[in-house]
Amino acid sequence: MGHSYKVYYSDCSGNPKNCYYPNTGESSSAEELKAFLGKDHVFIQFKDNYRSKNNFVSADSVVFDCDNGETDDEKAWIYPDDIKSLFPDVPCVISTSRNHMKQKGDKSPRPRFHVVFPVCKFTVAEEYTEFMRKVQRSFPFFDGNALDAARFFFGNHDTEVTVIEGTTLLSDLLAEEQDDSFASLGETIPEGNRNTTMSQFAGKVLKRFGDTDEAYACFISKSQQCDPPLEDDELKVIWRSAQQFYKKISSQPGYIPPEKYNEPFKVEWEVPIPLEKPLLPSFPVDALPPIIRDFVVAVSESTQTPVDMSASAALAVLALCEQGKFRIRGKADWTEPLNLFVVVVAEPSERKSAVINLMTKPINFFEAEYNKRNAAVLETNKMNKRILERRQRALEDKAAKGKIEKGEIEELAQQLATYEEKTPLRLYVDDVTTEKLTTVLSEGGGKAAIVSSEGGIFDMLSGLYSKNVNIDVMLKGHSGDCIRVDRVGRTSESIMNPALTVLLTVQPSVLSGLMQNGTFRGRGLTARFLYCMPKSIVGGRRYRTEPIAKEITEQYSILINDLLSEEQSAIPEEITLSPDADELLESFSNEVENKLNNDFAEVSDWAGKLVGAVLRIAGVLCRASVIRGSDFLNDIEPLLVDETIMKNAITIGRYFTEHSISAFSLMGADSLTKQSLYVLNAIKKNGLVEFTRRDIMRLCRTFKNADEVQAVFNHLTEYGYIAPKDLVAANTKGRPTNPTYIVNPYV
């Protein structure tokens, strides 16, 4: 039996938004491996089977892409058959990709395949990536842009799988290549290992010395260790084969020539600190009820937006429909309402409004139809109120003249005090002040929602108009604490159990302002939001998309209508947990509690509310999983959160944990980071290994002056991407020397 390869694969194929790989396959058979590789797959074990760099657990294989995209010279192309000669005696699996020998964009058909090498197990993502970079520098035909620790591969049912046997691990081969004693004599090379050993050695000395007489002399010297000796003709065949492959490799972009290969590093480089925001997980759409999941995916496809945006909005929309009608019981003395605060952070032109409009369309229709059906009732209510007020004025005039009859005032006062005003249904508001929001809550029977594709509400909360920071209504609306409402001319009334849902899509600059507001964080407003920071797909969006299927839209509308049509009782209906769900929530609560002083120390205010948020999400998912149609049913089954629903709620909670931690740490995008990334891109694009300030100002025209450039250089130096060269001025007079910087090889 040869080496066994472990593959983690999904239930889908060709889905770039999938991050879930729940299935594991392990085999050394090409036929069995082909079955695994027919699905979207990874060769890394991730926590909870959810692919993200932060979830990296371990990997005992490294996978490289070879798509020959850097050159159109067919003679320089690497073919699958070349791998065995380039890596003699190294075990690996070669699988052709979906576009193998096919036209891809403007690139002609050419060999495109993946190579999987077994390695000693990695348990740290950075070490895994660093090793892959070392290999790619030695073998530049591997794609240098496909070396991250969260890479996935599309399934290919037609892949051609080749298993190559060997006894030398890739890591051992790399270590031998970096050894300086290539030409030293050592132990005898026995029969059976002679060809492999000499092939490996030929490749090493050619890379070290180039195709020179010195390299050949080392090769011949090494051959003297063979016992019995190899024939001269056989040695010539091995050498010529190695020369051919060296010629191919030396023509590859990124090839390091011998003079550079032998040159020692003058700087002890380390892996630079990432400038970009961390790679965050995609929303686990499979955790949503099927009707919601299908609509969310369809909206994402139609609008060409990240699925995170529509999925996060869906949770808030469901909460809007269910709030006030239900509470979920976690344990005997703990219940939570079902309202949620959700904020999606995205740059301008990310089509935030388009997503919000599609997700709220059934709500708008329900509201309009309700007000249309009840127009006469609403008008009658207004008329009766006006009649009572006219009777009040007339009675006051009558009393002033002393003509009042006994009991008239008391009777009218009772009618006015108990009169219930009816207002048009308003399921959510957009641009609203905190004072008006209190009125909306009162008129809505204690329920209200804010849905906005902008973040103007934060300006109002911070006192843009009143010059006073007023966030009480938001805090109490989230927690359900009593709100006192005082009106001129009326007795004070209380909103006993307010329920406020908030759905906002804001720009990073708004997020930055939110996080930096000491009052907002100090009083717990920022800790009440679930943050979604989707990865932008701007620049890769398609014009021609799949429209949302009619049946998917209809099912979504039916569900929203069912939720909104359910009558609200004086006491909210209670949702309970099954024993299995209760155990899951307890385990998750203990996990979070143990992290509050370490992993979650910087966001302990937010993480302290995480278990409650997960319980609310579980309640929202539970009610949205059924269509009750209460008008047609005599007996309605009690709502029970089972094990599956709780698992889904916890999965969603973990998603928001990653995104919320990032939101708190980044506090929006800062200009220095953007400029640094811009300069790094110019360095990579132009293949710079060293440069001056003037070089960068020529390549990057956005800088106004040298001070701006220098600030970026200082930032990149601090993060380990570049380093200044030691300069010795020719003289001390005149203009200072323009400093030169060298680039970290990891870049």
Amino acid 284 reads P
Q: Give residue 153's pLDDT.
A: 93
Considering only residues 376 and 145, tell me which one the structure prediction assigns the higher pLDDT. Answer: 376
pLDDT, tens digit (0-9, with 9 covering 90-100), for 639-688: 999 999 999 999 999 999 999 888 886 543 456 777 888 888 888 888 88
pLDDT, tens digit (0-9, with 9 covering 90-100), for 298-341: 999 999 999 999 999 999 999 999 999 999 999 999 999 999 99
The mean of the pLDDT values for the chain is 83
Q: What is the largest CA-CA distance in the chain?
A: 135
Domain 285-374+423-432+440-450+477-505+527-666 = CATH 3.40.50: yes
pLDDT at 424 over 60: yes
- Six token digits for residue 715: 């930032």
Show the 3-state SS of 357-382.
Answer: HHHHHHHHHHHHHHHHHCHHHHHHHH
pLDDT, tens digit (0-9, with 9 covering 90-100), for 597-611: 888 887 888 999 999
pLDDT, tens digit (0-9, with 9 covering 90-100), for 54-90: 788 999 999 999 998 878 888 888 899 888 878 888 8
95-104, 371-380, 675-684 — most confident range: 95-104
pLDDT at 736 over 50: no
Quote the strand ranges of 352-486, DSSP E: 447-452, 483-485
In sequence order, what are the residues at sequence separation of 6 or more whose Cβ sits closer than 8 angstroms to the Cβ of residue 318? 292, 563, 620, 621, 623, 624
Domain 1-169 = CATH 3.90.920: yes
Q: What average pLDDT does the segment 177-196 reach?
A: 61
pLDDT at 437 over 70: yes
Q: Give residue 412's pLDDT.
A: 79
Which pLDDT band, with edges at 50, 70 and 90, does 237 fall under? Answer: confident
Which pLDDT band, with edges at 50, 70 and 90, does 460 fall under? Answer: low
Contacts 24+ apart (CB under 8 A), 639-642: 639/326, 639/573, 639/575, 639/576, 640/575, 640/576, 640/577, 640/578, 641/328, 641/575, 641/576, 641/577, 641/578, 641/581, 642/578, 642/580, 642/581
pLDDT at 525 over 60: yes
**Would you list the domain boundaries of the chain?**
1-169, 179-264, 285-374+423-432+440-450+477-505+527-666, 383-418, 671-743
Task: Report how far apart the first and last C-alpha atoms of the chain are (Å, whole number).
Answer: 40
Closest CA to 339 of 322, 364, 363: 322
Tokens 């059934």 correspond to 362
- Cα–Cα distances in angstroms (integers) from residue 243 to residues 75, 250, 561, 687, 696, in the given order: 14, 10, 73, 27, 39
Q: Give residue 653's pLDDT.
A: 96
pLDDT at 731 over 50: no
Radius of gyration of the chain from its Cα atoms, rounded to whole angstroms: 34
pLDDT, tens digit (0-9, with 9 covering 90-100), for 543-559: 999 899 999 999 999 99
- Cα–Cα distances in angstroms (integers) from residue 690 to residues 374, 693, 745, in the given order: 74, 10, 11
Which pLDDT band, with edges at 50, 70 and 90, does 275 fall under? Answer: confident
Tokens 């209809």 correspond to 554
CA of residue 56 relative to chain centroid, distance: 14
Q: Give residue 539's pLDDT.
A: 86
Q: Give residue 518's pLDDT.
A: 67
Which pLDDT band, with edges at 50, 70 and 90, does 615 fall under? Answer: very high
| Residues 326 and 641 sit within 8 Å (Cβ to Cβ) | no
Any idea what DSSP says for residue 178? T
Considering only residues 339 and 200, tell me which one the structure prediction assigns the higher pLDDT. Answer: 339
d(CA 516, CA 607): 18
CATH class of 671-743: mainly alpha
Amino acid 86 reads L
